[in-house]
């Protein structure tokens, strides 16, 4: 193990960093549960494989995605929406593990949003070079529930913008185990991920995995 990875995994900070009203980074919040989360992600991906969805414009998305929970976020030429079944095989999305629910609930509570009960978990997989362009999470009818976003594996730079696409974005370095929560007045802020840098993570290898928990009903 290189010193670099050692520092990333074992010596990075804990605690909270406010980003904006209703938005906070919980440093290291998921670090202790990462091994358990990864085992669950493998189980989920065995049943609902990662795939590159098409945007409504017909372009392949850069990150590979799958879902767990009662509803899964999908994109294709018909648009963005939530579906109870995986369009690739017609089966319900794999169930949301209790460890996922608890982590999301506890992170939301720590960020000031008690009682968060996600019914959708989008799982994004980034290989080096992969990015996610600036967007809003706005396919959910209940905007009182926050978004809870868990980072695992390779580090990334998170862009956190304003309520208009053209607003300036803050750049936040996220590492393995960090959790970002945004809700309330920040719920519709634009956000994205800069291209992930080349690297090898001690647990995940050449990838970053992001879990995005939402209440989609």
Cα gap 77→136, rounded to integer Å = 19
DSSP classification of residue 82: E
Q: Is 137 in the site for Fe ion (CB under 5 A)?
A: yes
CB 183 within 8 A of CB 142: no
Smallest gap, in angstroms, from Cβ of residue 155 to ligand SIN? Answer: 11
Smallest gap, in angstroms, from Cβ of residue 196 to Fe ion? Answer: 15
Helix, strand, coil % (nearest 5) of the chain? Answer: 20, 35, 45
Q: Which residue is nearest to ligand SIN (CB)?
A: 210
Q: For tokens 């750049």, name the residue.
A: 171
Q: Which stretch binds Fe ion (CB under 5 A): 13-21, 44-52, 131-139, 181-189?
A: 131-139
Closest residue by Cα to residue 189 from 29, 21, 74, 56: 21
Cα gap 15→85, rounded to integer Å = 37
Considering only residues 187, 191, 201, 215, which one is a binding residue for ligand SIN as defined by CB under 6 A? 191
Q: Is 132 in the site for ligand SIN (CB under 6 A)?
A: yes
Closest residue by Cα to residue 161 from 152, 171, 173: 171
* Radius of gyration for the alpha carbons in the chain, expressed in angstroms and rounded: 16
Smallest gap, in angstroms, from Cβ of residue 212 to ligand SIN? Answer: 4
- Altogether, the residues listed in the chain come to a count of 217
How many Cβ atoms sit within 10 Å of the Cβ of residue 15? Answer: 9
149's contact among Fe ion, ligand SIN, none, with CB below 5 to 8 A by partner kind, is: ligand SIN
Q: Is 190 in the site for ligand SIN (CB under 6 A)?
A: no
Q: Which of residues 175 and 193 has its CB atom nearest to ligand SIN in the complex?
A: 193
Smallest gap, in angstroms, from Cβ of residue 207 to ligand SIN? Answer: 12
Q: Is 212 in the site for ligand SIN (CB under 6 A)?
A: yes
Cα gap 20→38, rounded to integer Å = 30
Q: Which of residues 113 and 122 has its CB atom nearest to ligand SIN in the complex?
A: 122
CB 132 within 8 A of CB 63: yes
Q: Which of residues 33 and 180 has its CB atom nearest to ligand SIN in the complex?
A: 180
Q: Which of residues 6 and 197 has its CB atom nearest to ligand SIN in the complex?
A: 197
Site for ligand SIN in 70-129 (CB under 6 A): 122, 124
Q: Which residues bind Fe ion (CB under 5 A)?
A: 137
Q: Which residues bind ligand SIN (CB under 6 A)?
A: 122, 124, 132, 149, 151, 158, 191, 193, 210, 212
């Amino acid at each position: 193990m290189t010193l670099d990875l050692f520092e990333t995994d074992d010596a990075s900070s804990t605690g909270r960093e406010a980003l904006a009203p209703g938005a906070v980074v919980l440093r290291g919040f998921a670090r202790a549960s990462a091994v358990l989360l990864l085992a669950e992600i493998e189980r989920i991906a065995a049943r609902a494989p990662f795939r590159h969805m098409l945007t409504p414009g017909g372009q392949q998305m850069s990150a590979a995605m799958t879902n767990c929970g009662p509803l899964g976020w999908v994109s294709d030429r018909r648009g963005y929406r939530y579906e109870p079944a995986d369009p690739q095989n017609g089966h319900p999305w794999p169930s949301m593990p209790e460890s996922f629910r608890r982590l999301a609930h506890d992170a939301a509570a720590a960020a000031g949003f008690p009682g968060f009960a996600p019914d959708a978990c989008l799982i994004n997989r980034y290989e080096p070079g992969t990015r996610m362009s600036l967007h809003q999470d706005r396919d959910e009818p209940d905007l009182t529930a926050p978004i809870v976003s868990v980072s695992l594996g390779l580090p990334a730079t998170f862009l956190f913008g304003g309520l208009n696409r053209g607003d300036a974005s803050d750049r936040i370095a996220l590492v393995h185990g960090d959790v970002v929560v945004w809700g309330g007045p920040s719920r519709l802020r634009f956000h994205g991920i800069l291209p992930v840098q080349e690297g090898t993570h001690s647990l995940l290898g050449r990838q970053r995995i992001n879990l995005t928990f939402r209440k989609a009903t």
